[in-house]
Copies of this chain bind each other. A is one copy, B any other.
Amino acid sequence: MREVFHQSLEDLQSRLVEIADLVTVSIDKATRAFAQSDVSLAEEVIADDSLIDEKAVALDEQAIEILARQQPVARDLRIVVFALRVSASLERMGDMSEHIAQLARLRFPERAIPKGLKSTFTKMGEQDVEIARTLSELLRTQDLRLADHIRNADDDVDELHARVFEKVLSDSWKGEAEATVDATLASRYHERFADHAVAIAKKVVYLATGDWAVEEEDIPLAVEAHAATLED
């Protein structure tokens, strides 16, 4: 029974990693579609989002079945609840990729990235892709140092997000209202994408360190402490 249960948990983990990998492909394509006005790439992202949604629903169903059949307690129970929550966040990350792709498609054949913001959005997209890739690795390896890496990359995204608004609100901004709207929404989607990854990374840390009920808004110092232990 114990053996079966551990097999079930490993299966949940594999499913989370699989969804995270799909999200990584999705954000990578979405940022390229957005930067290069590649409408067929944008269409792919939009079409593939339903696959992410389906896989998240399937994972949830499996988690509920594990709860019903194997009635886990203590840490095992936390792991199953964790999987339910993480699948919801990954699904939202997929939605953010889709929204970025939709902006690219909406503006085609014009370029979706407003003038003067190309390098900012390119960097933001690169950070989001890096975050998704690292998140997938974190879910696969449980190496908590990766959580710090995600948090640092999220700080970069926040800084780039602020830079978009600085630019848009500066005297040098020559964009029409349409460009302002696009910049605002695209920046918000990129930022939310990274936020969801940070929320998941924190949950991984809480699960590992046991401090689950801690205020989620706080930055968990436990990450550094735990990483230091690993490095010792």
User: Which stretch, A60-68, A119-127, A128-136, A143-151, touches the partner chain B?
Assistant: A60-68
Within 8 A of B (CB), among A38-90: 50, 53-54, 57, 61, 64, 67-68, 71, 73-74, 77-78, 81, 84-85, 88
Interface positions of A from 133 to 170, Cβ below 8 Å from B = 165, 168-169
The size of the chain A interface, using a CB distance under 8 A, is 33
Report how far A61 CA is from B64 CA in the complex, Å. Answer: 17
Q: Which of the candidate stretches A1-9, A26-34, A173-181 sits at the interface with the other chain?
A: A173-181
Contact with B along A212-231 (1 / 0, CB 8 A): 01011100000000000000
Q: Is the CB of B53 within 8 A of A217?
A: yes
Residues in B neighbouring A61, C-beta threshold 8 A: 213
Q: Using Cβ atoms and an 8 Å threshold, which residues of chain B touch A53?
A: 215-217
Tell yes or no: A14 within 8 A of B by CB.
no
